[in-house]
Amino acid sequence: TMDLEGRIITLDFGEFYLTQVYTPNAGDGLKRLEERQIWDEKYAEYLQSLDKEKPVLATGDYNVAHKEIDLAHPQNNRGSAGFTDEEREGFTNLLNKGFTDTFRHVHGDVKDVYSWWAQRAKTSKINNSGWRIDYWLVSDRLNNKIIKSEMIDSGTRQDHTPILLEIDLEVEK
């Protein structure tokens, strides 16, 4: 059913694909976790099918903090939507299909860098109590072309911050 929710935009730039996604949230009480797992599997297969044709740059809100360092309070959030073992495994599976998390590729295991802060908790941004759930992924064969991958400071604004990827895609002739 999630296929009908209009969550993916893919552009063909001739030499590469650029795709953007809004990954479904597992929901309150994890009521959509099973559907989310199917989504993760199908989305990974979709990106892999694109990658067979040409390199892929994929970005968006993946609604998962992949590793404990990707959120401020992993122990308090274990089993919450966006930080279940199932969602984290789904993201690992996606990366294992030939994709690089550009931020981790550039910065390694740096901590306390997030892309989202809860709007309901007024001090989440002030205290940097966030989650890294927005990503730029690229086909593994492009990872040596990554120049920069970072979060752009959005000031006091909570919710998502813009993320930046600078990559050298110049085609050699």
The single-letter code of the amino acid at 106 is: V
Catalytic residue among 17, 40, 51, 61: 61
- Percentage, residues of the chain above pLDDT 90: 88
pLDDT digits (tens, 9 = 90+) for 36-82: 999 999 999 999 999 999 999 999 999 999 999 999 999 999 999 99
Q: CA end-to-end span of the chain, whole Å?
A: 44
**Number of neighbouring beta carbons within 10 Å of residue 166:** 13
- Catalytic (active site) residue 46: no
> Residue 157: which pLDDT band, with cuts at 50, 70 and 90?
confident
pLDDT digits (tens, 9 = 90+) for 86-97: 999 999 999 999
CA atoms of 11 and 86, how far apart (whole Å) = 29
What six digits make up the tokens of 160? 């998502």
Tell me which residue has tokens 């404990």. Answer: 68
- Catalytic (active site) residue 62: no
Residue 144: phi, psi to the nearest 5?
-80, 0
pLDDT of residue 6 exceeding 80: no
Q: Tell me which CATH code domain 2-166 carries.
A: 3.60.10.10
Structural domain boundaries in the chain:
2-166
